[in-house]
């Protein structure tokens, strides 16, 4: 019995050993298959896991002035970035604890006595955790941009203790002249969720800055470069390790964006900005808070200068803005040259005169008497000079800026003689006043007033009109530049159209676009938007009136421009705002017989009772003086 039990036990052991043997053979066969059959595949995967890819941001394209001088570029910098090494399955408390530990280690590494704003643990934790819900968990978070050499060196030395932290070379936008051209260039900032939905399919990273205003926005597709990539050797946790100088392997070099050569002249732009600032600062204690100016080449539409005061520093947006900083920025946000229309006042009187002549309601040599005011069918409207201007034809009325002459054109166009006949005011407005008003608007549109100019900038205003029902003064007041709002750019285009013989030229800021190697990508050519329906004789009539403004003793700007060698033709303008203030304008071009520059200057919301030649005139004078002095120097060099 005992021997039978032993035999049974021995048999079970043999069977067990047999099973183990078979299992071992299968395991060895499997290992041999993996080693011999799949070894190369797994080696490739292991090698791939040994490296992590890091994006190398591409530098943005540069801005240059018309002479090739660099205005906006990029400067080399380093960004300290965090990419979460944790997964969704990781315990949130553990993740939080690890992030706080990393942040605590970063604080002393990023401490720099030369920096005004100190880095805190709470701020780093907030950045690492991410507050933007649309950002994926794996999206990199920028902890520190424009890191100093000291900060970069410290962080690199401690990367092994900072999981998820990386130091990335990055070209930072450099608005080297600070506030110079700020409303032309615009500013950049990080994307919000709506923008990310638009840009994510165009090769952008969540951390990229994009143009928000100005040329940065308008030409985003040309300015943006193509990101590159590098491989970095990492440990089992995915953190970079340091072995030697060959740790990084460039897989793809970043390709910089295209460079934009602008139409603006740096010196003229600087003088324009300085003149606006001086004018507003000289008027401290008055309601004046801003001003704007534009200079165009009337023959091509090229923008020679464009400025709006106050200006801002686009560099301030690169690291983001606090609520307090944004509150300080807001007064400078509007581009008053393009985006904010103002009542134009008497600057429209050249066109009013031409419309009156074209429609036959006045004749070229007809003299209209100004006693100091005129009855507008129930409302007595004064001329700006209560003493009156006596008898004036159209050219003289432009020079004197006579309201009564323009009121008369408005009344005749609207057929005021029929107001109290055939049904009264309402019937008259429908039959005569409103059609005359619409026709007047269309004539203004031909010159660029009340329509967009076509400038290559976002957010351009088309201006606006204010036709009021059941009043008799719509046409007379529109004829003197009330009941409408236009931008300085629109008025500069309007003056250019008069100066060049009736061609409305499309204004533009970008002259050409070149790739990083200097190859021409796109060249902008002058574009005629339309030819006005006014005869050469009518345009010449208006030009003669503008010349009298600046040369005849009775001209409203003769004191300032009468002795200038560059022979200015211009027009002053003062417009009531309805806010107990007035807008002060000067528009003009020069030289009179060979136009090379057309300008428009506005100093809005000034005290009532001032004169345009002393409010806006000094800015215009400095712009024209600078332009013609520069022209002489260039001619001498050539």
pLDDT bin (cut points 50, 70, 90) of residue 489 is very high
Any long-range contacts for 383-386 (C-beta under 8 Å, 24+ apart)?
384/346, 384/574
- The predicted pLDDT at position 635 comes to 43
User: What is the spatial distance between Cα 456 and Cα 219, in angstroms, rounded to a whole number?
Assistant: 9
More confident residue, 320 or 522: 522
Q: What is the chain's alpha carbon radius of gyration, rounded to the nearest angstrom?
A: 36
Lowest mean pLDDT among 123-132, 298-307, 501-510: 123-132
Cβ atoms of 172 and 74 closer than 8 Å: yes
Predicted confidence (pLDDT) at residue 202 exceeds the cutoff of 50? yes
Predicted confidence (pLDDT) at residue 1 exceeds the cutoff of 60? no
Q: What percent of the chain has pLDDT over 70?
A: 87
Residue 319's Cβ-count burial label (10 Å; 0-12, 13-18, 19+) is middle
pLDDT bin (cut points 50, 70, 90) of residue 83 is confident
Which tokens is 209 given? 């800055």
Which tokens is 203 given? 């090769």
Q: Give the single-character DSSP code of 211.
A: E
Angle between helices 349-358 and 403-413 (to 10 degrees): 40
User: What is the spatial distance between Cα 410 and Cα 473, in angstroms, rounded to a whole number?
Assistant: 9
Residue 316's Cβ-count burial label (10 Å; 0-12, 13-18, 19+) is middle
Beta partners for 266?
Answer: none
Cβ atoms of 474 and 482 closer than 8 Å: no
Using DSSP's 3-state secondary structure scheme, residue 243 falls into: coil
Beta partners for 380?
Answer: 375
- The predicted pLDDT at position 534 comes to 98
Q: Average the pLDDT over 181-195 and give the result.
A: 93
User: What is the spatial distance between Cα 45 and Cα 394, in angstroms, rounded to a whole number?
Assistant: 86
Cβ atoms of 489 and 542 closer than 8 Å: no
Highest averaged pLDDT of the listed ranges 154-168, 247-261, 467-481:
467-481
pLDDT bin (cut points 50, 70, 90) of residue 37 is low
Predicted confidence (pLDDT) at residue 4 exceeds the cutoff of 60? no
Angle between helices 349-358 and 434-446 (to 10 degrees): 120
Beta partners for 602?
Answer: 292, 585
Which residue matches tokens 């304008």?
585
pLDDT bin (cut points 50, 70, 90) of residue 433 is very high
Q: Average the pLDDT over 486-494 and give the result.
A: 98
CA triplet 603, 461, 359: central angle to 5 degrees? 85
Number of C-beta neighbours around residue 13 at 10 A:
10
pTM, to two decimals: 0.86
590 — phi, psi (to 5°)? -160, 155
- The predicted pLDDT at position 149 comes to 86
- The predicted pLDDT at position 246 comes to 46
pLDDT per position as a tens digit, 226-285: 988 877 665 555 555 554 444 455 678 899 999 999 999 999 999 999 999 999 999 999
Which tokens is 386 given? 């209560």
Of 277, 291, 228, 278, the C-alpha closest to 605 is 291
More confident residue, 86 or 627: 627
Of 600, 576, 573, the C-alpha closest to 584 is 573
Q: Give the single-character DSSP code of 432.
A: I
pLDDT bin (cut points 50, 70, 90) of residue 98 is confident
Domains of the chain: 59-262 (3.90.1310.10), 266-637 (3.40.710.10)
- The predicted pLDDT at position 33 comes to 60
Predicted confidence (pLDDT) at residue 3 exceeds the cutoff of 60? no
User: What is the spatial distance between Cα 284 and Cα 289, in angstroms, rounded to a whole number?
Assistant: 8
User: What is the spatial distance between Cα 584 and Cα 481, in angstroms, rounded to a whole number?
Assistant: 12
pLDDT per position as a tens digit, 584-613: 999 999 999 999 999 999 999 999 989 898
User: What is the spatial distance between Cα 445 and Cα 430, in angstroms, rounded to a whole number?
Assistant: 22
pLDDT bin (cut points 50, 70, 90) of residue 341 is very high
User: What is the spatial distance between Cα 378 and Cα 375, in angstroms, rounded to a whole number?
Assistant: 6
| Ordered DSSP codes for 336-369 | TTTT--B--GGGGHHHHHHHHHHTTSS-TT--EE
User: What is the spatial distance between Cα 238 and Cα 230, in angstroms, rounded to a whole number?
Assistant: 15
Using DSSP's 3-state secondary structure scheme, residue 411 falls into: helix
pLDDT bin (cut points 50, 70, 90) of residue 32 is low
Q: Average the pLDDT over 535-552 and give the result.
A: 98
- The predicted pLDDT at position 19 comes to 79
Predicted confidence (pLDDT) at residue 638 exceeds the cutoff of 50? no
Instruction: Report how far Cα 636 is from the mean position of its chain's Cα atoms.
Output: 35
């Amino acid at each position: 019995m005992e021997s039978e039990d032993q035999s049974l036990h021995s048999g079970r052991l043999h069977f067990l050993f047999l099973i183990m043997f078979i299992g071992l053979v299968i395991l060895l066969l499997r290992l041999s298959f993996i080693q011999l059959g799949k070894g190369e595949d797994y080696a490739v995967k292991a090698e791939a896991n040994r490296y992590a890819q890091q994006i190398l941001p591409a530098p943005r394209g540069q801005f240059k002035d018309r002479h090739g001088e660099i205005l906006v570029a990029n400067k080399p910098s380093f960004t300290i970035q965090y990419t979460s090494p944790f997964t969704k399955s990781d315990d949130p408390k553990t993740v939080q604890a690890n992030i706080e530990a990393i942040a605590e280690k970063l604080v002393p590494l990023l401490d720099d006595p030369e920096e005004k704003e100190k880095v805190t643990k709470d701020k780093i934790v907030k950045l690492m955790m991410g507050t933007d819900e649309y950002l994926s968990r794996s999206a990199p978070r920028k902890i520190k941009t424009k890191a100093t050499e000291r900060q970069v060196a410290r962080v690199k030395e401690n990367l092994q203790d900072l999981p998820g932290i990386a130091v990335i070379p990055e070209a930072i936008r450099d608005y080297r002249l600070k506030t110079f051209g700020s409303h032309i260039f615009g500013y950049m900032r990080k994307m919000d969720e709506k923008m990310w939905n638009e840009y994510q399919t165009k090769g952008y990273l969540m951390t990229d800055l994009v143009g928000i205003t100005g040329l940065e926005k308008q030409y985003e597709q040309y300015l943006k470069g193509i990101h590159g990539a590098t491989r970095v050797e990492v440990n089992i946790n995915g953190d970079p390790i340091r072995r030697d100088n060959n740790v990084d392997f460039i897989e793809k070099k970043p390709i910089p964006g295209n460079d934009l050569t602008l139409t603006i002249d740096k010196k003229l732009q600087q003088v324009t900005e300085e003149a606006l600032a001086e004018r507003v600062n000289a008027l401290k204690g008055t309601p004046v808070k801003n001003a704007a100016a534009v200079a165009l080449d009337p023959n091509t539409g090229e923008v020679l200068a464009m400025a709006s005061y106050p200006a801002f520093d686009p560099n301030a947006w690169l690291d983001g803005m606090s609520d307090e900083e944004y509150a300080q920025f807001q007064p400078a946000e509007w581009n008053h040259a393009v985006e904010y229309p103002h009542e134009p006042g008497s600057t429209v009187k050249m066109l009013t005169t031409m419309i009156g002549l074209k429609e036959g309601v006045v004749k070229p040599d007809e003299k209209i008497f100004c006693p100091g005011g005129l009855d507008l069918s129930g409302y007595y409207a004064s001329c700006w000079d209560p003493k009156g201007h006596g008898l004036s034809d159209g050219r003289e009325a432009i020079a004197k800026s006579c309201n009564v002459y323009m009121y008369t054109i408005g009344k005749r166009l609207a057929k005021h003689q029929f107001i109290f006949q055939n049904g009264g005011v309402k019937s008259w407005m429908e039959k005569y006043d409103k059609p005359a008003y619409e026709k007047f608007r269309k004539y203004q549109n031909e010159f660029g007033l009340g329509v967009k100019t076509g400038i290559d900038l976002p957010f351009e205003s088309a201006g606006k009109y204010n036709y009021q029902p059941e009043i008799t003064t719509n046409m007379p007041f529109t004829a003197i530049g009330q009941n409408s709002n236009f931008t300085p750019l629109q008025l500069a285009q309007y003056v250019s159209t008069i100066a060049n013989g009736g061609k409305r030229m499309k204004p533009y800021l970008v002259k050409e676009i070149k790739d990083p190697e200097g190859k021409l990508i796109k060249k902008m050519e002058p574009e005629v938007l339309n030819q006005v329906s006014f005869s050469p004789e009518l345009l010449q009539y208006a030009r003669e009136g503008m010349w009298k403004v600046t040369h005849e003793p009775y001209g409203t700007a003769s004191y300032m421009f009468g002795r200038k060698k560059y022979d200015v033709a211009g027009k002053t303008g003062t417009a009531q705002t309805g806010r107990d203030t007035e807008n002060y304008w000067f528009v003009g071009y020069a030289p009179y017989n060979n136009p090379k520059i057309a300008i428009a200057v506005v100093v809005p919301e000034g005290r009532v009772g001032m004169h345009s030649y002393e409010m806006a005139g000094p800015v215009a004078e400095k712009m024209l003086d600078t332009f013609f002095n520069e022209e002489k120097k260039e001619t001498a060099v050539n």
